[in-house]
Amino acid sequence: MATRDSRTLQVSIERDWHAAYDFTSDPLNLPKWASGLATGLQKFGDEWLADGPTGKLRIRFSPPNDYGVLDHWVVTETGEEVYAPMRVIPNNNGCEVSFTLFRMPEMNDGKFAEDAAWVLRDLKALKAVLETPET
C-alpha cells in the first residue's frame, strides 16, 4: 500500500495557542470559519452531521486534549472516510495552525489543487476570526 500525496497548509495566527485551540476545537464554531463543514451542523450521538458541498457528512472529532490536536474524520454519503489531521502549536505569543490534506485515490491534480486552495481559504478565515478582538 503506497502513501498518498499530501499537502500541509498552515497559517500563523496572532493569538495565544490555548485560545485558538479552545475556539477551533468547538464544533459549534465551525460555521464561523470552515466553509466545507459549516452548513446544517448538528450533534448526533458522538458525531456531528453537516451538509457538505457533495451531500450529507458525518464528522468525528478527536477528544479534547492538551496537545493542540484537532484531527477529525469526515464520512461522506458514500461511506468513504476522510482523515483530516489538524494541529495548533505555540509560536511565541501566537500560534501556527496546520492542516494536512491527503489526495484521494480518484483525485486529479486540478481537484487536489482546488481542495488545497479551499483549505487555505478556510484557514485564512480562521485567522481573521481569531485575530478579531471580540472572539
Q: pLDDT tens-digit profile of 32-68?
A: 998 876 677 889 888 998 887 777 889 999 999 999 9
CATH of the domain at 93: 3.30.530.20
Q: Is the per-residue pLDDT at 7 higher than 70? A: yes
CA distance readout (Å), 31 to 23, 72, 92: 12, 16, 28
Q: pLDDT confidence of 102, banded at 50, 70, 90?
A: very high
Write down the pLDDT at residue 56: 84
The total number of structural domains in the chain stands at: 1
For the chain, what's the residue count? 135
Other beta carbons within 10 Å of 46: 8
Residue 29 is part of which domain span? 8-130
- With cut-offs at 50, 70 and 90, classify the pLDDT of residue 135: low
Say how far apart CA 37 and CA 51 lie, in whole Å: 7
Please state whether beta strands 81-84 and 6-13 pair in parallel, antiparallel, or not at all (unpaired): unpaired
Residue 1 belongs to some domain of the structure:
no
Closest CA to 7 of 123, 119, 127: 119
Q: Taking the model in full, what pTM does it have?
A: 0.90
Distance CA 75, CA 125 (A): 23
Residue 57 lies in a domain: yes
